[in-house]
Amino acid sequence: MERPKKAYEIGELDQYLFGQGNHYEIYKKLGAHVVKDGRREGVYFAVWAPHAENVSVVGDFNGWDVKANPMERNEPLGIYTAFVPGVQTGSLYKFCIETYKGELIYKADPYANSAEMRPGTASRIADILNLKWSDAKWMEKRAEWDHHTQPISIYEVHIGSWKRHPEPDKEGFYSYREMAHALTDYVKEMGYTHVELMGIAEYPFDGSWGYQVTGYFAPTSRYGSPQDFAYMVNYLHKNKIGVILDWVPAHFPRDAHGLADFDGTPTYEYADPRKGEHPDWGTKIFDYSKNEVKNFLIANALFWIEHYHVDGLRVDAVASMLYLDYGKQDGQWAPNKYGGNENLEAIEFFKHLNSVILGRNPGALMIAEESTAWPKVTGRPEDDGLGFSLKWNMGWMHDFTEYMKLDPYFRKGHHNQMTFAMTYAYSENYVLVLSHDEVVHLKCSMLNKMPGVGFDKFANLKVGYAFMMGHPGKKLLFMGQEFAQLREWSEARELDWFLLAEKEHVAVQEFYKDLLHLYKRNKAMYELDTSYEGFEWVNADDGYRSIYSFIRHSKDNKKNLLFVCNFTPIEREDYRVGVPRRKQYKLVFNSDEVKYGGTGEERPLVYRAVKKECDGRPYSFGYKLPPYGVAVFEF
């Protein structure tokens, strides 16, 4: 008769749920967990290795001896387990797997909660059961929060290069705890609502920026311990700043200690290389047909959101998961059973993932980085949508950057590039993004995309940012672009903060900061983001002068905003704008202020509309519009 299982051990129900793909807290059973077995304290190890002949746990506690701690196989799924007494928190370990070929391979724990600092590749015992939280108010509010009607302005950050540590023993990295304070102070002053952190799950190669993950359940040790990471999330929450993580369920690297051929066979990846490999990236693709693999990923998403209180996940490379032929030539991919190029298993995975994450965690965000016209990415799974909360608007980003690169003389022939996004603005719930991808690989920084020299470059960038902030959709800007970084971003150095000794860069920073606070202060700029009632063109067709004018409406229509953006260096002394009512229009944002690098010319703060037709409207008022001028009026 089999002895009864202890509470911490893998039981029949655990195996059944894992085999069904529904064990949403499997991370509490698989991996390495500090436990007490009677009077003995130690660590319970469990690993899924279905095609392994034998598995043992090796570590600094047993001299890395393959024979010291063999693991017991649990059927029917092939989960190997062992209790090893006396093992302490902080110990390093790996699983030694004997493959069906008789080879010994050494793998890091897929469910490890901590990892050795690179270039080391071992997992590290960590006890994360009693993390310290004092963000209960934030978590309660999050549960009632509706992202559709709330402001979201995201600061995308790579911790390792936001600032570099001056002390040589720190390898240039600020710790999670140090970053918590420095980043919070900056983000609060600037007026962002959320930070999005790149490269948090453990990864071996700095140059991958965290997009080639080997430790899905371990905050990278570059910046400290799991407790330190929890401190940072908690501190940001206490200061009313949301935390979004980049999350990579699309692929994983081939590193020998990672998930690739985990038990000597394709365990986590598709066995068929036409489905299981990305030729361009040299990485492996998760097998979304296996319940245990889907469970690994869904439980991982829940782990960050529920265990570490993270507020949302930005899901990387969604298009590469949806299309079987993504980045592949003819002969490199296999069609689905209907002959199409859609990955049917990935589609079902997304519906399951988003239903579970958002069903269990009201107020959390699931954000798709999806670069195609795939329908209903933010649609409900019941309506055959994928179920994401938000989708990155890559189409807007492409049109915007291409337009902004143009010499102003040629913009009149491309006027519709800035208006086109409004034809599909309500087909999904969008985030307008100018992300890290736009300022690397010889694409130039945002400033150096701009035409001209000197004043023109800075003025172009500012009017572009104002247009972005006024346009429907949530907002995301990559770090450094808010003060007009000159160089492209590199993960190997800190941002060029020394530029803030120059008034032009300070002016851009002040400009973007005031836009962020204007955005947060005015419901018209966000509460009807997903509704036709929230936006109205005044003049979308003024291509000859390259001027765009539009209105953002609030729900109660009491505090609306009129935007006017001039994308040429030509001053319009007699600019007249049509308006819907014979009211007073109060100037609440003026790009010509000295602090923004303008002339500081005095002008009225209130403008009275008169009965004079303009822009197809019965009323209008005149305004002296400066070169690359931005004016926002409240009415």
Which residues carry out catalysis?
316, 369
Residues whose CB is less than 8 angstroms from the CB of residue 36 and which lie 6 or more positions away in sequence, other chains included: none
Handedness of CA 448, 450, 456, 457 (dihedral sign): negative
Structure tokens at 347: 């589609």
Structure tokens at 282: 């040299």
Distance between CA 15 and CA 9 in Å, rounded? 11
Distance between CA 508 and CA 605 in Å, rounded? 22
Integer CA distances (angstroms), 166 to 69, 176, 197, 318, in order: 43, 16, 22, 38
Distance between CA 412 and CA 407 in Å, rounded? 10
Cβ atoms < 10 Å from Cβ of 271: 10
φ/ψ of 426, rounded to 5, equals -105, 10
φ/ψ of 29, rounded to 5, equals -110, -45
Distance between CA 48 and CA 39 in Å, rounded? 28
Q: What is the 3-state secondary structure (H, E, C) of 487-513?
A: CCCCCCCCCCHHHHHCHHHHHHHHHHH
Which single residue is written with the structure tokens 């998403």?
A: 301
Distance between CA 33 and CA 18 in Å, rounded? 18
Asked if 125 and 43 touch (Cβ cutoff 8 Å), the reply is: yes
Pairing of strands 79-85, 40-48: antiparallel
Distance between CA 386 and CA 336 in Å, rounded? 18
Q: Which DSSP letter does residue 269 get?
A: B
φ/ψ of 48, rounded to 5, equals -90, 115
Q: Which amino acid does the sequence have at 351?
A: K
Asked if 83 and 35 touch (Cβ cutoff 8 Å), the reply is: yes
Integer CA distances (angstroms), 147 to 348, 519, 532, 617, in order: 24, 15, 17, 34
- CA 48 from chain centre, in angstroms, equals 29
Residues whose CB is less than 8 angstroms from the CB of residue 79 and which lie 6 or more positions away in sequence, other chains included: 10, 15, 18, 30, 46, 47, 48, 49, 73
Which single residue is written with the structure tokens 């701690």?
A: 69
Distance between CA 253 and CA 251 in Å, rounded? 7
| CA-based nearest residue to 374, from 332, 427, 333 | 427
Question: Angle at the Cα of 487 (from 242 to 470), degrees rounded to 5?
Answer: 45
In 493-609, where do the E strands start and end? Answer: 535-539, 547-552, 561-566, 572-579, 584-590, 606-608
Distance between CA 619 and CA 608 in Å, rounded? 10
Distance between CA 22 and CA 294 in Å, rounded? 9
Structure tokens at 158: 């790579």
Question: Angle at the Cα of 308 (from 303 to 310), degrees rounded to 5?
Answer: 95
